[in-house]
Amino acid sequence: MLPPGVKITTDTLWLGTFIFAVIDAVFIPILAWRINSATFRRIKWTLGTTTAIFYSALWTWGLVNFWDSIYHYVFPAWAHWLIPPIFGLLYAGISVLLWWLALRLRGNAAANFCLLGGLWGMITHLFAVSIGIVSKPPVLQGAAPAAAVIFAIFEFMFYWCIILTIAVLLHHGWRELRHVSV
């Protein structure tokens, strides 16, 4: 929960953008170096499952902690507990789409996946801005919509890096367990 009177300003969003951009600038090259194309091709369903769990958990945490200060201004009350599983499934589908696109673009598939995830973050936050995420909640009123959208690019790249890391670790873990048990 946010303390009373806290404001998320344009400057706060730009600072967050910078922090996520620095983290992404380190994280994405490491993933590109460590995840080869063959491994990336094999993790499709692990990636989808990991994404569903990750985004369901993230939205549960976000709604529990920020419903009153942010989300009840843009979502109907009846959707409060439906959002996490619905968004978890939606994002699982998006992850499979991003996986498919990442393999078809030039360059490293793991890097492409994370960069496409940032593009998805931009799209989601353009929608969020259009429904009032920076104009309705008092905590965000006055923050520049452009800063919120650009922040989301780097925030989401970070999330997709985490998801990709977990999915690859699970994939390798399952392979090792199958190898040991044979």
In this prediction, the residues of the chain whose per-residue pLDDT falls under 50 are: none
* Predicted pLDDT of residue 60: 97
Q: At 121, which amino acid appears?
A: G
Which DSSP string corresponds to the chain?
-PPTT----HHHHHHHHHHHHHHHHHHHHHHHHH--HHHHHHTHHHHHHHHHHHHHHHHHHHHHHHTTTTGGGTS-GGGTTTHHHHHHHHHHHHHHHHHHHHHHSSS-HHHHHHHHHHHHHHHHHHHHHHTTTTTSSTTTTT--HHHHHHHHHHHHHHHHHHHHHHHHHHHHHHHHHHHHH-
* Predicted pLDDT of residue 179: 67
* Predicted pLDDT of residue 180: 66
pLDDT in tens, 107-139: 999 999 999 999 999 999 999 999 999 999 999
Pick the closest to residue 31 from 89, 102, 94 (CA basis). Answer: 102
The verdict on pTM exceeding 0.85 is yes
- Count the alpha carbons within 13 Å of 96 in the hemisphere toward its beta carbon: 11
